[in-house]
Amino acid sequence: MEKREKQLDSANRLLYVLYERLNTIKLFQIDFVNPTRYHPAQMISMEPVLDFRAPTSEFNTQEVSFLFQTKHKQLMLSLHVANEQFNEAVKAIQIRSNFHLNIYQALLEKAGIHAGQKISDIDIENAMGERNYQMLKQSTEAVVYNVDKFVERGDVLRANLITAFSDAFSEKEVFNFELLEEPINDPMQPTE
């Protein structure tokens, strides 16, 4: 019985770590990526994050290695991939935010371009230089790609882990959670 309790505790801890990570990246997607997803100047309109904090908890896959003895052994590989995707998403957000805050905005200010001013891609590229322009564009694309992929694959992993752990234990014992959904109304927008 003690072994089973330790395995259940490890399974629920791992699910909680996944919850923290999915919640953090999904909130970033809702707040930063989705509002600018179809904006023609997404690389400029997506705000940087001053101090993006990712959960410090880690996937401890060794504690759930009992999955290797089940029909769900493939989830061990999926956990590794999800961990890498999370780290890549966090790194992309931090790199882009740093570049946006410390290089892009300074170059625009130096060129006399002010916040809220209408500017074209050519104005931006002239103010930043081609290399910096491409870096901002590519780092924005990397953020969107990595955030979207982690949310998509992480949610599939969530469902598969809950199923696997429910098979090993019981459904009512397993930490079950759903991915955050988009807000119905933007609280920052006035209602009529």
Q: What DSSP string runs through 66-100? A: GGGGSTTTTHHHHHHHHHHHHHHHHHHHHHHHHHI
Torsion sign over Cα 35, 136, 48, 93? positive
pLDDT at 6: 95
- Kindly give the parts of the chain with pLDDT less than 50: 187, 190-192
pLDDT at 192: 44
Instruction: Read off the pTM.
Output: 0.89
pLDDT at 52: 92
